[in-house]
């Protein structure tokens, strides 16, 4: 046979294959953004609630602003990590159940998560009752700690709102019902601004008014989600409250705690960095510069968090549907998108490394020190953008227990001690501490990537099928009948 026709024939056969692959990637790209886009809006809106509270507190004075900042960054950060982690167990169970078409147990999973989260909220309440003493033990300013303690007591209702909010959020995300949350969060943000204006500015109720506004806003958001879930929009997934919610709580608790530990080790990593930096010479400047960079990193994280959610939902859905190839495809698409987004943010930071510190401080030494961190901040944002995706993959596949061990080793055995060594022993200051911590994040990302690459996804799909069958409708409905 002539070689030229043979080459043309092979090319003709190869072209449809390439077109088919491209179409699959494009279809998956659209699915990712359908989840990630509204989730980004939700994340930014909810994060902005605390920003608005801090802004109105700043009008009251520096002492009030510092007190609110301590409560938000230390206490609420601690509680949010636990509540978000406990709720993340639903991402695995609900996501895989949706993929398998087993909607009948989603409402039971949600109720189990509410029970566990509400008990956790009750156990965490003393943290806010004794907030002043706790902050003083952490060597915070006594005056700030006293004001923060009073504010913390007033926002206790917010803890219980979080206990209901995050499970409801995961229930909706697993079914890709994310636009409702986006609209609800944006409306709540507008209401929150209005409430702060009324209670803080017009009625002059001070931090008590700010706390009342915050409580009302978070509960408005929670009630909206609960009404949406319970009022007939999910006839298959929500069939009312059931005593089955109290069954199998031990197994559910194990997965919830594993999720909480995995996420808390991540969230508290950079909080620990601030405590380490606080012991350096010129600690005030070092802490200010690091805090500025972490604030910018958190803003970027609010965007990439959307890809964490979409990765967990899509991986769980595909595994639950018994489609390991689909799971691998969505991982590739998520890594590509997150790398592009991270690169864009990194370029923006590098292009403005001498300008962005001026948005936060007028002190020249703080501006100079923060500018020096521009390169490591850009690199951190790029790496964490990809890292959030591998976290989503881990949650979607149900690897929380395994990744919790990886996080502990990379962050607290390697990153923080190495950072203290570079910062203090080798006199590299805040840059040395952050580079070491970035090394811990990079090591964690590489290890999880190796785990993903070595995973037998056919086996993962079978395990998801077993999990859905064991935890879900087939077995438990038989118990009910």
- 449 burial via Cβ count (<10 Å: 0-12, 13-18, 19+): middle
Determine the distance from the C-alpha atom of residue 233 to the mean position of all C-alpha atoms in its chain, rounded to a whole number.
Answer: 26
Q: Which two tokens stand for residue 230?
A: 């319970």
Tokens 């699915």 -> residue: 31
Q: Which two tokens stand for residue 136?
A: 């003083």
CA-based radius of gyration for the chain: 24
Q: Do residues 339 and 386 make contact, with C-beta atoms less than 8 angstroms apart? A: yes
pLDDT digits (tens, 9 = 90+) for 182-194: 999 999 999 999 9
pLDDT at 479 exceeding the cut of 60: no
Q: Which residues, including other chains, have CB under 8 Å from residue 121's CB and lie 6 or more apart? A: 83, 159, 160, 162, 163
Q: Do residues 308 and 7 make contact, with C-beta atoms less than 8 angstroms apart? A: no
pLDDT digits (tens, 9 = 90+) for 350-379: 999 888 888 766 778 878 888 888 898 999
The residue length of the chain stands at: 481
**For 11-32, what is the mean pLDDT?**
71
pLDDT at 475 exceeding the cut of 60: no
pLDDT at 481 exceeding the cut of 80: no
Q: Give me the numbers of helices (H) and strands (E) for the chain, helices first please.
A: 20, 0
Q: Which of 366, 372, 376, 388 is nearest to 445 (CA)?
A: 388
**Which band of pLDDT confidence, cut at 50, 70 and 90, is reported for residue 285?**
low
Tokens 């594993």 -> residue: 258
**For 407-419, what is the mean pLDDT?**
92
**For 379-387, what is the mean pLDDT?**
92
Record the pTM.
0.82
pLDDT at 289 exceeding the cut of 90: no
Query: What pLDDT, on a 0 to 100 scale, did the predictor assign at position 275?
Result: 65
A 10 A CB-CB count for 36 gives 27
Among 161-170, 263-272, 452-461, name the one with the lowest average pLDDT: 263-272
Averaged confidence pLDDT in the chain: 85
A 10 A CB-CB count for 328 gives 16
Q: Which residues, including other chains, have CB under 8 Å from residue 391's CB and lie 6 or more apart? A: 262, 263, 266, 308, 311, 312, 403, 448
**Which band of pLDDT confidence, cut at 50, 70 and 90, is reported for residue 203?**
very high
Q: Do residues 85 and 264 make contact, with C-beta atoms less than 8 angstroms apart? A: yes
């Amino acid at each position: 046979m002539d070689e030229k026709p043979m080459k043309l024939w092979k090319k003709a056969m190869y072209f449809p294959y390439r077109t088919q692959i491209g179409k699959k990637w494009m279809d998956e790209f659209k699915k990712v953004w359908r989840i990630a886009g509204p989730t980004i809006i939700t994340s930014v809106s909810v994060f902005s609630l605390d920003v608005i509270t801090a802004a109105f507190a700043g009008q009251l004075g520096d002492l009030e602003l510092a007190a609110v900042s301590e409560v938000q960054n230390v206490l609420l950060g601690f509680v949010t990590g636990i509540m978000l982690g406990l709720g993340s167990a639903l991402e695995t169970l609900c996501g895989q159940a949706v993929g398998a078409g087993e909607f009948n147990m989603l409402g039971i999973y949600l109720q189990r998560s509410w029970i566990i989260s509400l008990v956790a909220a009750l156990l965490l309440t003393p943290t806010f009752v004794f907030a002043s003493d706790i902050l003083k033990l952490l060597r915070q300013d006594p005056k700030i700690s006293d004001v923060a303690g009073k504010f913390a007591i007033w926002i206790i209702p917010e803890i219980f709102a979080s206990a209901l909010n995050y499970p409801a959020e995961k229930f909706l995300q697993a079914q890709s019902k994310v636009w409702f949350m986006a609209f609800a969060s944006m409306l709540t943000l507008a209401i929150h601004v209005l409430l702060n204006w009324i209670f803080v500015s017009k009625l002059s109720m001070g931090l008590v008014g700010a706390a009342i506004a915050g409580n009302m806003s978070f509960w408005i958001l929670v009630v909206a989600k609960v009404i949406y879930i319970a009022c007939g929009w999910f006839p298959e997934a929500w069939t009312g409250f059931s005593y089955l919610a109290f069954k199998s709580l031990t197994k559910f608790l194990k997965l919830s705690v594993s999720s909480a530990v995995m996420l808390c080790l991540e969230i508290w990593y950079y909080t620990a960095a601030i405590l380490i930096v606080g012991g350096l010479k010129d600690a005030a400047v070092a802490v200010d510069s690091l805090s500025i960079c972490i604030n910018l990193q958190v803003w970027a994280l609010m965007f990439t968090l959307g890809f964490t959610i979409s990765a967990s939902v899509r991986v769980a859905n595909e595994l639950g549907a018994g489609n390991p190839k689909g799971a691998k495809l969505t991982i590739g698409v998520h890594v590509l998108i997150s790398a592009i987004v991270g690169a864009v943010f990194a370029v923006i930071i590098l292009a403005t490394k001498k300008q962005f510190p001026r948005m936060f401080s007028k002190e020249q030494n703080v501006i100079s020190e923060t500018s020096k961190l521009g390169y490591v901040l850009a690199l951190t944002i790029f790496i964490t953008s990809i890292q959030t995706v591998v976290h989503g993959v881990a949650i979607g596949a149900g690897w929380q227990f395994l990744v919790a061990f990886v996080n502990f080793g990379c962050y607290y055995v390697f990153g923080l001690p190495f950072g203290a060594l570079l910062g203090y022993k080798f006199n590299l200051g805040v840059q040395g501490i952050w580079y070491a911590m970035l090394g811990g994040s990079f090591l964690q990302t590489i290890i999880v990537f190796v785990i993903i690459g070595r995973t037998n996804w056919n086996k993962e799909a079978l395990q998801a099928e077993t999990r859905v069958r064991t935890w879900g409708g087939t077995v438990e409905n038989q118990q009910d009948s």
